[in-house]
């Protein structure tokens, strides 16, 4: 992997078996990079693809979108990785937004989720806004339980795969494939597992969580040592770290950001991945 620093952007040359990209392909905004405890300087983990696809729906989803000047009404697709609160409790709010503030929207909200996920999310809405959203569950939402699907209205499709996290949350990751062949592997919340390593072989960029420090055995989360071990197995891959347990590099807090090899990029809130028309992709910071 070729790398050079240019101002606030890090550029990478794509080295894969995929065909070359053409045109400006995509942008992934990281509006939150923290774990469930929201360390100082970090909102709950949130990735937005092309300003229309959300990976999960953290509690402050609406604020995070508006803070980044993204209209919540532009989010037409949400992919859920699992059922922990820091990944789901924003769903009632975006449905409320869609019902009352986005009345002229012609397209339904497309939700991609595991079986029984509809019951979980609709019950969450009933608890949060009883009597307000029941008529919207099927009127404003398309529920898609497929394990492989095109993402409506976009150039992306996905394969969903199981990962190693709290079993009760039905944890999964997403292999996201652009029509031009670029592969983004979003591993959700997970400790090291064979399924991630198997799919990483075909990925251009891999997003791993690092929810716990090196202070014990945490099979359901990656630690800094786990991240380092992973990159040693895949030295030619760009690894982006999110769902970070550590305080942002711009803040003082209990857990300082760990020192990791330069090939590993620990994301900060506001960073974004831009895939360009010249066959490169870059991490940019605000």
Q: What pLDDT score was predicted for residue 23?
A: 54
Going by pLDDT thresholds of 50, 70 and 90, the confidence category of residue 19 is very low
Q: What is the pTM of this model?
A: 0.92
Ramachandran angles phi, psi of 195, nearest 5°: -65, -40
List the 205-209 sheet strands across, edge first: 148-150, 156-162, 172-178, 183-186, 205-209, 238-242, 264-266
Check residue 278 and give its pLDDT.
Answer: 67
Report the alpha-carbon distance of residue 286 to residue 272 in Å, rounded. Answer: 8
Q: Residue 273 pLDDT more than 50?
A: yes
Gap between the Cα atoms of 127 and 88, Å rounded: 13
CA distances (Å), origin 45, targets 39, 189, 221: 11, 10, 14
263 pLDDT band (50/70/90 cuts)? confident
Q: Count the residues in the chain.
A: 286
As a whole number, mean pLDDT of residues 105-124 equals: 95
From residue 174, how far is each of 51, 58, 122, 158 by CA, in Å?
A: 18, 17, 23, 6
Compute and round to an integer the Cα radius of gyration of the chain: 18
Q: 87 to each of 42, 56, 143, 165, 219, how far by Cα in Å?
A: 14, 5, 17, 13, 19
- Residue 262 clears pLDDT 90, i.e. is over it: no
User: How far apart are alpha carbons 91 and 104 in whole angstroms?
Assistant: 20
Segment 259-271 mean pLDDT: 95
Q: Which domains does the chain have, with CATH numbers?
A: 3-284 (3.60.15.10)
Predicted confidence at residue 134, as pLDDT, reads: 98
For residue 11, the cross-strand partners are: 4, 282
- Does residue 22 register a pLDDT over 50? no
Greater pLDDT, 226 or 250: 226
**What is residue 140's predicted lDDT score, i.e. its pLDDT?**
96
Dihedral in degrees, nearest 10, Cα atoms 48, 135, 107, 103: -90
Residues 110-139 have a mean pLDDT of 97
Average pLDDT over residues 202-218: 97
Helices (H) and strands (E) in the chain, counts: 6, 17
7 pLDDT higher than 50: no
pLDDT tens track for 37-87: 999 999 999 999 999 999 999 999 999 999 999 999 999 999 999 999 999
- Please give the pLDDT value at position 252: 87
Q: What CA dihedral angle connects 83, 285, 179 and 263, to 10 degrees?
A: -90
Question: 245: closest CA among 272, 263, 206, 218?
Answer: 218
When pLDDT is averaged across residues 131-144 and rounded to a whole number, the result is: 97
User: Would you place residue 156 in the very low, low, confident or very high pLDDT band (cuts 50, 70, 90)?
Assistant: very high
Average pLDDT over residues 225-242: 97
Residue 217 clears pLDDT 60, i.e. is over it: yes
Using alpha carbons, select from 99, 56, 46 the residue that is nearest to residue 77. 56
**Mean pLDDT throughout 25-47?**
97
CA 8 to chain centre: 22
d(CA 128, CA 233): 44
Question: 225 or 105: which carries more pLDDT confidence?
Answer: 225
Check if the beta carbon of residue 280 is closer than 8 Å to that of residue 13.
Answer: yes
Contact 59, 89 (CB under 8 A): yes
Confidence check: pLDDT of 8 > 50: no
The closest of 111, 112, 99 to 139, measured between CA atoms, is 99
Report helix, strand or coil for 22. coil
Q: Do the Cβ atoms of 246 and 258 come closer than 8 Å?
A: yes
The pLDDT of residue 10 is 61
Interval 82-94 mean pLDDT:
98
Residue 100 burial by Cβ neighbours in a 10 Å radius (0-12, 13-18, 19+):
exposed
User: Between 212 and 282, where is the model more confident?
Assistant: 212
DSSP string, 163-177: -BS-GGG--EEEEEE
């Amino acid at each position: 992997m070729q790398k050079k620093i240019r101002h606030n952007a890090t550029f990478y040359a794509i080295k894969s078996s995929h065909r070359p990209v053409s045109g400006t392909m995509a942008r992934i905004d990281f509006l939150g990079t923290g774990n469930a405890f929201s360390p100082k300087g970090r909102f709950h983990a949130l990735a937005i693809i092309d300003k229309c696809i959300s990976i999960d729906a953290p509690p402050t989803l609406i604020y995070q979108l508006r803070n980044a000047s993204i209209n919540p009404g532009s989010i037409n697709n949400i992919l859920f990785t699992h059922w922990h609160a820091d990944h789901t409790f924003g769903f009632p709010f975006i449905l409320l937004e869609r019902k009352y503030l986005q009345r002229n929207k012609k397209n339904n909200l497309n939700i991609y989720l595991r079986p029984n996920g509809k019951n979980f999310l609709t019950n969450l809405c009933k608890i949060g806004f009883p009597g307000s959203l029941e008529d919207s569950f099927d009127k404003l939402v398309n529920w898609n339980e497929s394990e492989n699907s095109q993402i409506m209205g976009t150039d992306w499709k996905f394969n969903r795969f199981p990962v190693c996290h709290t079993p009760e949350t039905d944890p999964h990751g997403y292999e996201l494939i652009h029509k031009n062949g670029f592969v983004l592997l979003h591993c959700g919340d997970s400790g090291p597992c064979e399924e991630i390593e198997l799919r990483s072989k075909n990925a251009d960029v891999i997003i791993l969580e690092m929810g716990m420090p090196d202070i014990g055995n945490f099979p359901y989360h990656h630690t800094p040592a786990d991240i380092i071990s992973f990159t040693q197995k895949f030295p030619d891959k760009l690894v982006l770290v999110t769902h970070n347990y550590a305080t942002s590099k711009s803040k003082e807090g209990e857990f300082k950001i760990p020192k990791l090899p330069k090939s590993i990029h620990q994301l900060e809130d506001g960073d974004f991945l831009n895939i360009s028309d010249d066959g490169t992709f870059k991490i940019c910071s605000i």
